[in-house]
């Protein structure tokens, strides 16, 4: 999933981001409420993880803004994190539209388990149909099993290759620059002197496209890369 984490405790935030990356999720981090609200309302996330006590704007205010937002943003699942353990605080969060609530201190394994449970309950906005598989042509990507196949043949992808495929597939038809790919897959600032992205694209293409037709991963010279079925 693509997750927005809004957490002002830097050590905890860095630890959670690392753990979520290891599980194959794509994570954007905001360290204050103002930035968190901007990203939450402007990004396309599968899940928001919001701390309640934040500098600038608190997590409940972000939650309320998300639920009042137009379009698909309002339906984004939200998991609240808070040091408050009083019943009325949890009730307020749930009444404001939170899907789950976890009180600090918590076991990281429990947080990851709750995120996994929310991912299994993700729905296509407005349809009520569970999103478990992404498809393009004869490509199928199972988000729960973390498995990709083409024409019924399993693709032997590494964790980073799977994450790269998801970034490209979720934004199919959009040309993604090397900078965007580096930030979303490796959570790093792009260094123009490195060929990290090109190497990863080449390795993914060798498994995704070389043995199959039609080709789905395309290079737009001087611009970036795009997933597209160009037969139509």
Identify whether the C-beta of residue 167 lies closer than 8 Å to the C-beta of residue 181: yes
Domain contains 53: yes
Domain contains 232: no
**Whole-angstrom distance, CA of residue 77 vs CA of residue 64:** 13
pLDDT of residue 120: 67
Q: Is the pLDDT of residue 19 over 60?
A: yes
pLDDT of residue 119: 74
Q: Is the pLDDT of residue 99 over 50?
A: yes
Residue with tokens 């905890």: 12
Identify whether the C-beta of residue 7 lies closer than 8 Å to the C-beta of residue 13: yes
Range ranked top by mean pLDDT from 19-23, 39-43, 151-155: 151-155
Domain contains 23: yes
Q: How many domains does the chain have?
A: 2
- Is this model's pTM higher than 0.85 or not? no
Task: Give mean pLDDT, residues 134-139.
Answer: 90
Domain contains 212: yes
Q: Is the pLDDT of residue 78 over 70?
A: yes
**E strand or H helix at 63:** helix 59-68
Domain contains 141: yes
Look over the chain and give the mean of its residue pLDDT values, rounded to a whole number.
84
CATH of residue 222's domain is: 1.10.10.10
Percent of the chain with pLDDT over 90: 37
Range of the domain at 100: 2-123
């Amino acid at each position: 999933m693509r997750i927005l984490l809004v957490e002002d405790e830097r050590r905890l935030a860095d630890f959670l981001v690392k753990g979520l990356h290891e599980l194959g999720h794509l994570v954007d981090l905001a360290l204050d409420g103002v930035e968190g609200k901007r990203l939450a309302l402007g990004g396309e996330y599968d899940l928001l993880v919001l701390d309640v006590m934040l500098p600038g704007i608190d997590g409940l205010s972000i939650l309320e803004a998300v639920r009042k937002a137009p379009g698909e943003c309002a339906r984004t699942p939200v998991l609240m994190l808070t040091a408050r353990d009083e019943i009325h605080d949890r009730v307020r969060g749930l009444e404001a539209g939170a899907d789950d609530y976890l009180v600090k201190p918590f076991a990281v394994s429990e947080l990851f388990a709750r995120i996994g449970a929310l991912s299994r309950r993700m729905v296509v906005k407005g349809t009520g149909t569970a999103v478990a598989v992404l498809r393009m042509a004869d490509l199928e990507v199972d988000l729960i099993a973390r498995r990709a196949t083409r024409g019924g043949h399993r693709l032997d992808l590494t964790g980073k290759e799977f994450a790269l495929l998801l970034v490209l597939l979720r934004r199919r038809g959009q040309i993604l620059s090397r900078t965007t790919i580096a930030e979303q897959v490796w959570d790093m600032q792009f260094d123009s002197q490195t060929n990290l992205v090109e190497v990863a694209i080449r390795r993914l293409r060798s498994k995704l496209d070389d043995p199959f037709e039609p080709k789905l991963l395309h290079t737009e010279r001087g611009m970036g890369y795009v997933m597209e079925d160009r037969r139509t």
